[in-house]
Amino acid sequence: MNEPDAQQAGASNVAPASGASVPAASASSAPSAAAAPPVPQKTVAAHGATAALIALIALSVAWEWWLAPLRPGGSAMVLKAVPLLLALPGVWRGRLYTLQWASMLILLYFAEGIVRGWSDRGLSARLGWLEVALAVVFFVCALTYVAPFKRAAKRAKKQANTHA
C-alpha cells in the first residue's frame, strides 16, 4: 500500500526536471504555471477521527465480550472490530485513501447501531446508540479532514485543463 500521507501531499512538490522532492515554499518560488497552494491541515478533525475509531473498536470488543454479548460468555460478533483495526494505522497517520474507505465502512456500524438501538433492550440498546454516535463523529471528522484535499485536487485538475 503506497498511499501518500496527507502531510506529505500538502508539504512537498516534485520538481518537474529532476524528480527530486522539494519543499512547497521553494517550489512556489520557482517559475511554474501549475504551482498549487498548500492544503490547510485540519488536525482536530484527524485527531477526532482517530479517537472515534479507537473508541468504536473498544466499544465493539467490550460489547460483544463482556457488556452485552448476544450469547452469555461472549460471541463471535467481536470479530466486527477487525475491519476497524485494519483501518486504524492509516487513519492514525492521516492517510487520505484510508480515511475515504473507512468513512464508507463506518456506515455499516452506523446501521448496526440503529438496528440494535431500536430492537434490543436495556444496556445493549444504549450501546447501539453509543455506536451510532461514535460512527457519526468518525464520519464527520473524516469528511472534514478529507474535503480540503478533494477541493484542491479539483482545482488543480481544473487549472491543468485551462492551461492545456
- Averaged pLDDT, 28-50: 68
- Coil, helix or strand for 103? helix
Answer whether residue 9 is part of any domain: no
**Domain hosting residue 47, numbered range:** 43-150
Q: Is the pLDDT of residue 37 over 50?
A: yes
Q: Is the pLDDT of residue 104 over 90?
A: yes
Number of domains in the chain: 1
- Coil, helix or strand for 20? coil
Whole-number Å distance between alpha carbons of 87 and 107: 14
- Averaged pLDDT, 124-147: 97
Write out pLDDT tens, residues 70-94.
888 788 889 999 999 999 999 999 9
The per-residue pLDDT for 16 is 33
The per-residue pLDDT for 41 is 74
The per-residue pLDDT for 35 is 52
The per-residue pLDDT for 108 is 98
Q: What is the band of 30 on the pLDDT scale with cuts at 50, 70, 90?
A: very low
Q: How many helices (H) and strands (E) does the chain have?
A: 6, 2
Whole-number Å distance between alpha carbons of 111 and 32: 48
Answer whether residue 34 is part of any domain: no
- Which among 57, 59, 77 is positioned nearest to 69, based on CA atoms? 77
* Buried/exposed 93-131: b ≥16 CB within 10 Å, e otherwise: ebbbebbbebbebbeebbebbeebbeebeeebbebbebb
Answer whether residue 94 is part of any domain: yes
- Which among 92, 83, 112, 5 is positioned nearest to 49, based on CA atoms? 92
Cell of 89: 494505522
Q: Is the pLDDT of residue 139 over 70?
A: yes
The per-residue pLDDT for 33 is 41
- Coil, helix or strand for 5? strand
Answer whether residue 4 is part of any domain: no
Answer whether residue 158 is part of any domain: no
- Averaged pLDDT, 100-110: 97
DSSP H or E run through 44? helix 43-62
pTM of the model: 0.74
For residue 17, the tally of other CB atoms under 10 A from its CB is 7
Alpha carbons within 13 A on the beta-carbon side of 94: 19
Q: What is the band of 106 on the pLDDT scale with cuts at 50, 70, 90?
A: very high
Answer whether residue 140 is part of any domain: yes
Q: Evaluate whether 13 touches 36 at the Cβ level (below 8 Å).
A: yes
